[in-house]
Amino acid sequence: MIMARRLTAFLFSMFFAAAVHAADNSPVPHLDIGKGGQCVEPDHTLMRKTHMNLLKHQRDETMRKGIRGQKYSLAECVECHAGQKTNSVLGSNEAFCQGCHAYAAVKLDCFECHANKRKVTAEASK
């Protein structure tokens, strides 16, 4: 009897913890992070805040100075972050780039020109 009550109390506390967590607006949406491995920067919180600057800087380096194949290449992001099943960073609110941007209400035009799919499948499905 005491055990059952403890269990009930425990389940209740879990429920409230979950409810509070859901009401907090800082957590991120549920994202398919893709292949895994080591991001271009090891600090993911920092990545979340600065990835746009890294990408824009890399783009400027490439467009103005012709520097290619660098660390912050957009194609590299897609290689890792494309969904395991979809092979894409777009297409649903679980897709890595689209999911978080939908959540943050950010719109991107990058993928009108850049590939949103992992190269492996793009080649395999030719």
Regarding 42 and contact with ligand HEC (CB under 6 A), the answer is no
Residues 6+ apart with CB under 8 A from 74: 55, 58, 59, 110, 114
Task: Select the residue interacting with ligand HEC from 83, 86, 89, 117 (CB under 6 A).
Answer: 89
Spatial separation of the C-alpha atoms in residues 32 and 86, rounded to whole Å: 10
Site string for ligand HEC, 96-115 (x = CB under 6 A): xx--xx--x-x-xxx-xxx-
| Cβ(97)–Cβ(79) below 8 Å | no
Site string for ligand HEC, 4-33 (x = CB under 6 A): ------------------------x--x-x
Sole residue written with tokens 């907090």: 24
Task: Select the residue interacting with ligand HEC from 52, 119, 120, 121 (CB under 6 A).
Answer: 52
Spatial separation of the C-alpha atoms in residues 122 and 46, rounded to whole Å: 30
Regarding 119 and contact with ligand HEC (CB under 6 A), the answer is no
Regarding 68 and contact with ligand HEC (CB under 6 A), the answer is yes
Regarding 120 and contact with ligand HEC (CB under 6 A), the answer is no
3-state secondary structure of 69: coil
The size of the interface with ligand HEC (CB under 6 A), counted in residues, is: 40
Binding window for ligand HEC (CB under 6 A); candidates: 2-10, 14-22, 45-53, 117-125: 45-53
* Helix (H), strand (E), coil (C) string for 11-36: HHHHHHHHHHHHHCCCCCCCCCCCCC
